[in-house]
Amino acid sequence: MDYMSEYKRWLDCSALSADEHAELAAVADNQEEIESRFFAPLSFGTAGLRGVLGVGLNRMNRFTVGQAAQGLANLIVSNGQAAMDRGVAIAYDSRHFSAEFAKQSACIMAANGIQSLLFDELRPTPELSFAVRHYGCIAGINITASHNPKEYNGYKVYWEDGAQLPPAEADVVANEMAETDIFTGVKTADYDESVKNGLIRILSKETDEAYLGEVIKVAVNPDCVKQVADEFKLVYTPFHGAGYRLVPEILRRLGYKHIICEPEQMKIDGDFPTVKNPNPEYKEGFTLAIELAKQNDVDLIIGTDPDSDRTGIVLKDKSGEYVTLSGNQVGVLLTDYIITAKKLTNTMPAHPAVLKSIVTTEMARAAAEKNGVACFDTFTGFKFLAEKIKQFEQDGSHEYIFAFEESYGYLCGDYARDKDAVTASMLIAEMAAYYRTQGKTLYDAMEEMYEKYGYYCEQTISIVMPGVSGLQRMKELMQELRDKPLTQIGTHKVDYTRDYMPGTRTCMADGKSEPMELKGQNVMYYELEGGTTFIIRPSGTEPKVKVYIMAKGENKAEAAAKVEALTAAAKEIVK
């Protein structure tokens, strides 16, 4: 594609508003910026679209969103009238233009004869997944860029099971988009008229009630909350996003009486003014919440990202300092707690299973298997965990009791098929109450996990590779790793290399390969001597390469030292 020709096409297009035209005219002398905006369309995959807001082919704007909506509409129409009649659920988060893109998508669906079920205001991502299943929709749309910086927005598409769009359907949408002229090929209808004629139906509190009714069923041992509710206090922050109503509400329904919400971050604001990055992974975002916790002598803080699918927590340690837990640590705590609580309440299924991704801590496997629970790996991304849940439903081999990823995503229950910060917040609060009845804090519980299951340490390193050159470098890096296999990383010898694209595991000593069940993803996985793991993969949603290091040691210090040494090695490999 000739990016300059495409730039001129947009610049000359009468469909652009004065502001949009001015934005493009302002970069006329900046070749690098023009190339960045027009070198290729935003890629539509199983996670939909995600990109920086702005005018251009490689940006999130009303034209690229319209093209995606028309592509999805074409897919639904191709499935026949019955699919069209089932409709599409549409939700959005607190980001700039999220509400506008959601409304626009509903109007495009209406113009194609497809009913939309549009939420009346921002909602958590998992409630959208729930709504697709609850109302029997053929698909769902969520306008969100999750935990990305404020400059981003996204267009996530779900299929009829409430999970993200499967690869085959995603390919159809991508092909339809390629065949749809971005300015003249998108149908649209009048919003008010579509509401009147029923092609746009507004979802409100009745859906919240149905959703919360399912979430509360996931509570395993809520009686322990009653025992401590009079004195237990916790702090909650939604990071200016969609969890602001439903997370405090589910905590109240669980039985908590003292939920202290951080007032500044309860304000809905797509600029996320109180944080550099609206990601509960980073302690910096909890600065205001920690101050509030100190003032109220609170030892548990829960935070959810702007679309309320990821959950982070901050705990007070033994010295009184506030510390963040990693997604791996929270996942292991919940794995152990859910198993313990299900045994206590006699609700453990006959063939229980815990699900995690290949880049998630092996400590979860130790916690599950030591308690007689199977543990299965999937590729990174909750859509793959959802596929495994669906497989269990179909073959009856296991019943999953918990699924999680290291990236702060957790799910329990069968009402949704995407990570849920509302449910996770409830389970974390229930777990904290349980340990309080034992005279312990969650920090104490985490220390006990290491004693029970071993000393594990993990680190994720993200190397940003922006723009056209970054995409090329990512491709080159992954090809280099295949062309010149690593035999040693730092001081650690590589015992086995797993290439998840063809799905092969190769012994480095004799060069013999064996097939693996998982295949078709661009991931290189190195099993190092001593049980340490080193994984490299390009991010599916951001211009970065991710390196995951997972180590086990005789004690905390040894495990941490292994990770530190490999972190230095990673920066030499990924340049």
Which structure tokens are listed for 17? 């508003």
Which structure tokens are listed for 137? 């929709």
The residues carrying an active-site annotation are 146
Please tell me what DSSP assigns to residue 41.
Answer: P
CA distance 398 to 386: 14
CA distance 443 to 283: 16
CA distance 345 to 339: 10
Alpha carbon distance, N-terminus to C-terminus of the chain:
28
H-type helices in 298-420, by residue range? 327-344, 363-370, 382-395
Which structure tokens are listed for 417? 């098929």
Long-range contacts formed by 189-192: CB under 8 A, 24+ apart:
189/107, 189/108, 189/110, 189/111, 190/107, 191/103, 191/106, 191/107
Which structure tokens are listed for 177? 């988009």
CA 156 to chain centre: 11
CA distance 92 to 155: 9
Is beta strand 374-378 parallel, antiparallel or unpaired with respect to 352-357? Answer: parallel
Residues whose CB falls within 8 Å of the CB of residue 350, separated by 6 or more in sequence, listed in order: 399
CA distance 364 to 362: 5
Query: How far, CA to CA in Å, does 439 sit from each of 105, 436, 444?
Result: 51, 5, 10
Please tell me what DSSP assigns to residue 490.
Answer: T
